[in-house]
Structure formats: structure tokens, C-alpha cells
Amino acid sequence: MDPKDERPVVVVDHQASWAAQFEAEAVAIHRALATEVVYIHHIGSTAVSGLAAKPIIDILPVVRDVSVLDGAGAAALARLGYEARGEYGLAGRRYFVKVDARRGAHQVHVHAYAVGHPDIARHLAFRDYLRHQSSVAAAYGRLKAALAEQHPRDIEAYMDGKDAFVKEQEERALAWWATVPVVLVTGPVGVGKTTVASALADALVDEGVPTAFVDGDALTEVHPASPGDAWGEGVLVANLEATWGVYRAAGARCLVLAQVVESEDGIRQFAEAIPGADLTVIRLDAPLDVIHRRIAQREAGEAEAWHLERARTLHTLYRQSPLGHVTLDADRPVPALVDQALAATRVIERLVTPPE
């Protein structure tokens, strides 16, 4: 039986230095584990601005294979001062502790998981929920301060005292986090899908929404194409299914995709590739002469002729079909199109301000 942990339970006001401490540790861990690391997150209360916390930095590295942390990876972290604790009660986790040698106090906790482990979503959802729900974060801070005062040398009683609150809020956070806004920007070849979608993704990141951006063409490039699937839609959908889990583990809350789509069935397949997808299709439209001018600026020879013909075909298709939830005039400045897309999708409103 493990001896009772009687280290002092100390909760302090949020420290601006915690973010820098996380950054320094994350850089060192990345260097130590190299390409085994997919992404490193700052989690727990020290990751939520303004929230009182125990002065211990919690770090969540997402790795490709967690078993590497039983051998060479553990040795690499040991050289940084981390002590391996194995799963430490949570299946699939690898837990490491760094102790301040001068004070004997825990300084950093590392909770490593492989891509796809459900506890990644649990940690990220709870953190993001607290970041955007100031009233919940404030209540959590008050609860922790009171428990630390009641149980100054009993970490188990402290943890038990906040367990019900954490579980209730985690459930709400996971329900909120499970919905994934997906913005599909479509339209004829040459209309500016990739440019607008990329700018839209940048705008979302600027507003604090972790966003994955995918140029669909990059996920279809395999030659020769499969018979009956000239545009590689099957490859694209399979690639989206395979890669979304990695983007999600990296903290992405939404997906912006630039891709030609020619049918409602194609739209449905994109939505089904992303669990929890709430899909909005933005169709860009412009006069054919504008599209042709843009193609001529970037293509030449046979490639230009092919793109011009493909643009004409798609232009006719889109003018005859109601595909898309919102149609925007692409013969306008990109910033104006991004503003319209943000207003139409309401991604920021839905993700930055979760429901009470």
C-alpha cells in the first residue's frame, strides 16, 4: 500500500509566468522525443487564464505510440528530470513527475497519451470550456481554494472534494466539444476556394478558435485515378477520416475544407467523414470571364486549356444546381468574403461562447 501523500495542498492566484513555464517544458520535451510527439498541450487549471490553481504545470503530450515512453522515451525524459510513474491508475496514460529539488514540491506533471485516446478529448474539452465560461471557472477556483484551506495536508480529500464538480462540468464540456463545425468552401475551378478558405481559417485562429485547414486537392493526389472515380473523392473522404483524429488530438475545434463538390451525395460523404460534423457549405460564384482571367494568370499551355474547360463545366453545373447553403460573390476582396463567411457560419459565436 502506498504511503499517504502529505505534501502541502496549496492553491494560489493565477500566475502569468505559468504559460512561459509550459512553453519551456514543451520545447524540451519535443526535443527529447522528436518525431514521436504529435502535439503538446497545456492542460489543467494553470492553462486557464485567471483561474486559481496549485502551482504545478500539467502537460499533455500526444504521441504516435505510447509504448515508446516505457523505454527510450522514458530515458529521454529522465534526462530532463522527469520520474516515470507508468499508467498511475489510468489505462493508456504514461505519467511523469518533475520535482523541484530545492523545495521537494511537484513542479510539472506530464500525462502522455497516444492519438485516439478518449482522455485527450476529456482534458482539452474541460480546459477549453473553462477558458470560455468565466462563471464556471470562477466557481471552480473558489471551490479549490476552500478545499485547500479545509485539507491543507490531505491531497486525497482535496481531490475527492472537487470530484463531483469536475465530473459535472466535464460532461457539459464534452457535449459542447463533440460538435465540430465544418465549413466546406466550394465552387468552380479558379474561383478562389483555397484562398478564401485559408483566409477564413486564419481569421478563426485569430479569434481563438483552434482550426484545421485542408486543401482537398492535396488529399486526392494519387495517379492514376481509380476507374469510376476520376476526381479521387473516395481517396479524399478516406484521408479525411484518417487524418481528422490527428487534427482533433492537436486540439482542432473546427475544420475548413476547400474542395469542388458536385452533388448532395458528395456533401453528405464529407460530413460523415468527421464525427460530430455540423456542416456549412459556402459556394463561391463569379462571372466566367473573371474565373478565366484568374486561371490564365496561374496556368499555361495544356494545363490552362484543361482548367478553362473544367471551369466552364462546373460553372454551368453550379448555376443549374442549388448546391450550398450560402452563395458568395467571389469577385470581391477576400477580407469581405471572410467576413460574410464568418457571419453565415457563426463558428466563433458557437465555439467561443458555449451554452451555460
Instruction: Output the domain CATH number for residue 100.
Output: 3.30.460.10
The domain that holds 311 is classified in CATH as 3.40.50.300
Domain finish residue from 140, 157, 177: 177
> CA-to-CA distance for 134 and 116, rounded, in angstroms?
29
Residue 82 lies in a domain: yes
The total number of structural domains in the chain stands at: 2
Question: How big is the CA angle at 353 (ends 270 and 211), to the nearest 5 degrees?
Answer: 40
Residue 134 lies in a domain: yes
Domain finish residue from 155, 177, 199: 177
Q: State residue 286 phi and psi, 5-degree precision.
A: -160, 155
Residue 273 lies in a domain: yes
In this predicted structure, what is the pLDDT of residue 2?
A: 46
Spatial contact of 94 and 87, defined as CB atoms under 8 Å apart: yes
In this predicted structure, what is the pLDDT of residue 354?
A: 63
Q: Are residues 194 and 307 in the same domain?
A: yes
Q: Are residues 126 and 171 in the same domain?
A: yes
State the maximum Cα–Cα separation within the chain, in Å, rounded to a whole number. Answer: 78
DSSP summary character for residue 3: P
Q: Are residues 186 and 334 in the same domain?
A: yes
Q: Are residues 172 and 205 in the same domain?
A: no
Torsion region of 104: left, alpha or beta (phi above 0 gives left; psi -120 to 50 gives alpha): left
In this predicted structure, what is the pLDDT of residue 352?
A: 75
Q: Are residues 201 and 265 in the same domain?
A: yes
Residue 3 lies in a domain: no
Residue 5 lies in a domain: no
Q: Are residues 121 and 257 in the same domain?
A: no
Per DSSP bridges, beta strands 180-186 and 254-258 are parallel
In this predicted structure, what is the pLDDT of residue 212?
A: 97
pLDDT along the chain (356 residues), means of 10: 64 97 98 96 97 97 96 96 96 96 86 97 96 94 96 94 96 94 96 97 94 95 90 93 96 96 92 94 95 92 93 93 91 96 90 68
Closest CA to 188 of 333, 339, 323, 325: 323
Residue 113 lies in a domain: yes
Q: Are residues 230 and 323 in the same domain?
A: yes
Residue 168 lies in a domain: yes
Q: Are residues 167 and 242 in the same domain?
A: no
Q: What is the pTM of this model?
A: 0.91
Q: Are residues 337 and 190 in the same domain?
A: yes
In this predicted structure, what is the pLDDT of residue 111?
A: 98
Residues 6+ apart with CB under 8 A from 105: 7, 8, 55, 99
Domain finish residue from 177, 194, 211: 177
Q: Where are the alpha helices (DSSP H) in 95-232?
A: 118-132, 134-150, 155-177, 193-206
Q: Are residues 89 and 33 in the same domain?
A: yes
Q: Are residues 184 and 329 in the same domain?
A: yes
User: What range defines the domain where residue 108 resides?
Assistant: 17-177
Q: Are residues 126 and 94 in the same domain?
A: yes
Residue 12 lies in a domain: no
